[in-house]
Amino acid sequence: MTTAGLVALHRRRRLTDRVMTVVMVIAAVAAVTPLVLIMFHVLTHGMGALSLSLLTEDPNPPGRPGGGVRNAIAGSMLMVGMAMAIGTPIAIGCGIFLSEFGQNRAGMVLRFLVDVLAGLPSITIGLFIYSLVVLPNKRFTAIAGALALAVILIPVVARITEEMLLLVPRSLREAAFALGAPRWRTVLTVVVPTALPGIVTGLMLALSRIAGEAAPLLFTSLGNQFFSTDPLQAIDSLPTRIYTYASGPFDYWHEQAWAMSLLLVVFILMVSVIVRALVGTKVTVRQ
């Protein structure tokens, strides 16, 4: 090849490299843009409709502007709380089993099922609980909604728990075994406490995930125009009310939907920031 040819080849390769770098930067900007836009619109539209009465009043009859979404906030808090109470012990138990007794074929299959469960559509989980709980009892209940949310929470928390327990240095377990501690004691008093920040992180991630879920609640807790804290009655929630208001005909519904979205997104962002802080401490502890 001539010298001129080599120079041309070199130029072309450099140019391709530059162009692809620019393409990658553009892709990164394109991926971040929707987040910025969504945050911007939720903030600007939401702030306009955010007021004290939104938090302290229940919805007006449809079509009469004003009123609030107190029932939806209370319902969300109640159901998410119940779901955490139901799901956490099962999820952590499953995570411990996977990390302690799951290094075999059965463990592999179980781990696989947990992963698959985490990927199944939440609306089918809603219908599962509808069929299992709502139909036999012939009523929509807050409990049914909480159960559906718990099913969504369990695989997420179980897998994070497992990962976090496996990160605990082997030397810590060995130290406990060397002191004569049986396995259960080693796990519960040494391994789990060491991994606790990670497990709490998993719980918080799951919390922010289920707080925004509406699809599994449509056929389980249904929604309720009135304030209720009765676990055996239909109950309202923020995501289902956003759904109703977003697809409804009234302007004030749309504004309130934006305000509710703002509440949800701020809550989720706060959880995310706290999780970041927790993960930061965990990393420093590990080093």
Restricting to residues 136-155, which ones interact with other proteins according to CB under 8 A?
151, 154-155
Span from 76-84, 173-181, 193-201, 226-234 in contact with other proteins (CB under 8 A): 173-181
Q: Looking at 11, 14, 64, 286, which residue binds other proteins (CB under 8 A)?
A: 14
Q: Which is nearer to other proteins, 78 or 215 (CB)?
A: 215
Using CB under 8 A, which of the segments 47-55, 77-85, 178-186, 224-232 binds other proteins?
178-186
Closer Cβ to other proteins, 55 or 106, answer by number: 106
Beta bridge partners of 235: 222
What 8-state DSSP symbol labels residue 218? T
The alpha carbon of 254 is separated from its chain's Cα centroid by a whole number of angstroms, namely 24
The Cα–Cα gap between 214 and 167 comes to 34
Q: Which amino acid is at 156?
A: V
Dihedral sign for Cα 201, 202, 203, 207, please.
Answer: positive
Report the amino acid identity of residue 213. Answer: E
* Spatial separation of the C-alpha atoms in residues 37 and 40, rounded to whole Å: 5
- 50 part of the interface to other proteins, by CB under 8 A: no
**How many residues of this chain interact with other proteins, rule: CB under 8 A?**
92
Q: Is 227 in the site for other proteins (CB under 8 A)?
A: no
Spell out the residues 6+ positions from residue 208 whose beta carbon is closer than 8 angstroms to its own.
267, 268, 271, 272
Q: Which parts of 206-225 interact with other proteins (CB under 8 A)? A: 208-209, 211-215, 218-219, 222
Q: Which of 7, 8, 16, 226 binds other proteins (CB under 8 A)?
A: 16
Q: Binding of other proteins at residue 191 (CB under 8 A)?
A: no
Q: Using CB under 8 A, which of 51, 53, 56, 124 touches other proteins?
A: 124
Instruction: Provide the minimum distance between the beta carbon of 194 and other proteins in the complex, in angstroms, as a whole number.
Output: 15
- The residues with which 67 forms a beta bridge, in sequence order, are 59
Among 67, 77, 128, 233, binds other proteins (CB under 8 A): 128
Q: Residue 35: which H helix or E strand, with range?
A: helix 3-49
Least distance from C-beta 11 to other proteins, angstroms? 12
Closest approach of other proteins to the CB of residue 88, in Å: 10
Q: Which stretch binds other proteins (CB under 8 A): 61-69, 77-85, 91-99, 227-235?
A: 91-99
Is position 125 an interface residue for other proteins (rule: CB under 8 A)? yes
Backbone φ and ψ of 150, nearest 5°: -65, -40
Residue 254 binds other proteins, judged by CB under 8 A: yes
By C-beta, is 142 or 262 nearer to other proteins?
A: 262
Are the C-beta atoms of 260 and 72 separated by less than 8 Å? yes
Q: Given candidates 11, 112, 189, 232, which one binds other proteins under the rule CB under 8 A?
A: 112
Instruction: Mark the segment that binds other proteins (CB under 8 A) among 15-23, 52-60, 74-82, 196-204.
Output: 15-23
